[in-house]
Amino acid sequence: MMKVTRPSTAPALAAGAPTSRKTRTSAAQRRAVFLFVAPFGVLFLAFYAVPILFAVVQSLLTVERKGTFGPPQQVFGGLVQYQQVFQNSEFWESVGRVLLFGVVQVPIMLGLALLFALLLDSPLLKGKKFFRLAFFAPYAVPGVIAAIMWGFLYSPSLSPFDAVTSQVNFLSADLVLWAVANIVTWVYVGYNMLIIYSSLLAIPTEIYEAARLDGASNMQIAWRIKIPLVVPAIILTGVFSIIGTLQLLAEPQTLRSFSSAISSTFTPNLAVYTTASVPNYSLAAAFSVVLALATFVLSFVFLKATQRKVSQ
Amino acid sequence: MSRGAAMLIMGVFTLYFLTPIWWLLVSSSKTGGDITGTAPLWFTADSIPTFFANLGNLFTYSDGVFGRWLANSALYAGLGALLGTVIASMCGYALAKYEFRGREAIFNVVLSGVLVPATALALPLFLIFSQVKLTNTLWAVFLPSLVSPFGVYLARIYAAASVPTELLEAARLDGSSEARTFFTVSTRLMAPALVTIFLFQFVAIWNNFFLPLIMLRDQALFPVTLGLYAWNSQISQIPELRVLVIVGALVSILPLIATFLALQRFWSSGLGAGSVK
């Protein structure tokens, strides 16, 4: 459990010291700040900021040939690639697909995570430690491996549960999106459960005792006290889930060996990968920029919208 | 809700979460034909020798490339997460405990980094690395993995809450340098957060798929997830790979489960830190 001890603001220990000493310390501190921040700063610039800028630049280029058989040349093309992005129906279908996925899967996953966290925090359960570990274990399974495991379990010809899979083909065009949703849920419920559970543990128990004295039932305590107090944790898990949904790649890409219903542009990131393999780097870069921007805007809006709601 | 109903819900979902892993364990101890031919969730008479035979095949197939993949993953994830944790915690600590110009600006940039996920960067990174002719090298996967904006965020929140400013002042009066105070005193106070950052970065790198997929052509550089993915997509041509993929999947998740169990005490306390504020 995390104890938040908020340090009182520093008493002015150095206040009585002579000024010369004070300036010396602050020079040392400035150097220290530089040393502490610089390594991350350099890496962040090199592997976050510069690549994004470079992708933006690449997305503004277009390939041109001199005459029909001349050598290809990259020239500035303005927003030509973005025009392509907006006209690319496969890309927008993939965006629609992951949005549908997110609207259904994220609430189910977070709802389950909240339910399990509340049960773990209630006096109703025995063997809490076991449940916590059992539910969290799938988080240790990489997306690729989870998709391979579930791919075998789903597959009509390979599944050990052929009594079910011969009746329902989870890998058909109609169901495969939800087959992916099940894999993602299986992996991440426990992780989200733990985030919500740790924030439940941080609530001081006196609040419950007071509520119980007022005659509140366990159910009322959960609804009226616990859930409102863990809203920040739920928002955090919500933002990460939205980001994760838009980035879906490993699970559908791996399932392609089991199901022909997953096209090479099934999710936006698959479309990026497929387009980059053509190779059409400029269009792939434009997809990436649109996707990164959409992810950023969506999670930012979600964060702001829920914050306003909470503070009201 | 009654005690019985609560236990029933948790019991049913325990089956949901553990059955696939159990199936993986059981299937690892079967021959190719037995995986579909026998009871899926129970062992056969000669499970134990078959398991070791499968394991032997796994590590000898194609000149033992699987062992190479495991070692690569351990290097990318282990060393990457270790260095990444040090780098992120220094930055988060500086943002929490020092007043300086541009502090809020840096923190906001880091925060927006949290919202731009690693996979969205895979292609941009590929474009950059191909400019300097470093695609298909170890560095192409290793270097970008060192950056963890979420680690900085966690470190800042945790340092603000757990490292008293009075203590830093006292260390200064004793003549300890800022760096020494950080490495000997502050890191100790921040230990749960550091373990959490390490673990989650370790998992993020170990699970990362898009970056190696787009960067690497040479099998000898693959992390284990990409290697197993490659084998899995060849099963229809080479059916004997199916058993190897299943055993390999089991072997590849064991280090993660072991790490989580070993460090449980730390991460279960550090995990809540991100949502405190």
pLDDT in tens, A242-291: 888 999 999 999 999 888 899 999 999 999 999 999 888 999 999 999 99
CB A106 within 8 A of CB A234: no
Whether B29 and B140 map to the same domain: the answer is no
Does the pLDDT value for residue A308 go beyond 80?
Answer: no
Whether A159 and A278 map to the same domain: the answer is yes
More confident residue, B40 or A7: B40
Task: Work out the pLDDT band at B73, boundaries 50, 70, 90.
Answer: very high
Percent of chain A with pLDDT over 90: 45
CB-based contact B276 A202, cutoff 8 Å: yes
Total Cβ atoms within 10 A of residue A241: 22
CB A40 within 8 A of CB B152: yes
- Domain limits at A30? 22-76
Task: At A87, list the tokens.
Answer: 């006209």
Does the pLDDT value for residue B263 go beyond 90?
Answer: no
pLDDT of A71-126, one tens digit each? 777 888 888 889 989 999 999 999 999 999 999 999 999 999 999 999 999 888 88
- The closest CB to that of B112, out of A142, A152, A296, belongs to A296
Whether A116 and A260 map to the same domain: the answer is yes
CB B235 within 8 A of CB A257: yes
Which domain CATH number covers A132?
A: 1.10.3720.10
* Count of the separate structural domains present in chain A: 2
Best of A9, A144, A249, A273 to substitute, by most chain B Cβ atoms within 10 angstroms, is A144
CA distance B214 to A253: 13
Whether B176 and B249 map to the same domain: the answer is yes
* Count of the separate structural domains present in chain B: 2
- The closest CB to that of A219, out of B1, B23, B253, belongs to B1
Does the pLDDT value for residue A189 go beyond 90?
Answer: yes
What pLDDT, on the 0 to 100 scale, is given for residue B277? 36
Whether A151 and A278 map to the same domain: the answer is yes
Residue A3 lies in a domain: no
CA atoms within 13 A on the CB side of A185: 20
Residue A68 lies in a domain: yes
Whether B15 and B104 map to the same domain: the answer is no
Whether A35 and A124 map to the same domain: the answer is no
Task: Work out the pLDDT band at B49, boundaries 50, 70, 90.
Answer: confident
- How far away is chain A from the Cα of B63, in angstroms, using its nearest Cα? 22
- Domain limits at B262? 53-275
Residues in B touching A46 (Cβ below 8 Å): 143
Task: At A137, list the tokens.
Answer: 């274990």
The secondary structure of residue B163, as a DSSP letter, is S
Range of weakest confidence among A13-22, A86-95, B131-140: A13-22
Residue A2 lies in a domain: no
Does the pLDDT value for residue B274 go beyond 70?
Answer: no
CB-based contact A43 B268, cutoff 8 Å: no
Whether B134 and B263 map to the same domain: the answer is yes
> Which residue of chain B comes nearest to A44, CA vs CA?
B147
Whether B1 and B72 map to the same domain: the answer is no
Which domain CATH number covers B250?
A: 1.10.3720.10
pLDDT of A24-55, one tens digit each? 557 888 899 999 999 999 999 999 999 989 88
Whether B205 and B258 map to the same domain: the answer is yes
Whether B183 and B100 map to the same domain: the answer is yes
Whether B68 and B19 map to the same domain: the answer is no
> Which residues are within 8 A (CB) of B62 and not within 5 positions of it... i.e. 6 or more apart?
none
Residues in A touching B210 (Cβ below 8 Å): 249-250, 269, 273
Q: Can you give the pTM of this predicted structure? A: 0.87
Does the pLDDT value for residue B78 go beyond 80?
Answer: yes
CB A48 within 8 A of CB B113: yes
Does the pLDDT value for residue A3 go beyond 50?
Answer: no
Whether B125 and B204 map to the same domain: the answer is yes
What pLDDT, on the 0 to 100 scale, is given for residue B272? 52
Q: What are phi and psi of B39, to 5 degrees?
A: -55, 125
Task: Work out the pLDDT band at B271, boundaries 50, 70, 90.
Answer: low
Whether A170 and A55 map to the same domain: the answer is no
What pLDDT, on the 0 to 100 scale, is given for residue A301? 87
Whether B110 and B193 map to the same domain: the answer is yes
Whether A31 and A130 map to the same domain: the answer is no
- How far away is chain B from the Cα of A229, in angstroms, using its nearest Cα? 11
pLDDT of A211-240, one tens digit each? 888 888 888 888 888 999 999 889 889 988
Does the pLDDT value for residue B35 go beyond 80?
Answer: no
Instruction: Write the ipTM.
Output: 0.88
Three-class SS of residue B190? coil
Residue A8 lies in a domain: no
Task: At A131, list the tokens.
Answer: 């449940």
Whether B129 and B194 map to the same domain: the answer is yes
What pLDDT, on the 0 to 100 scale, is given for residue A17? 41
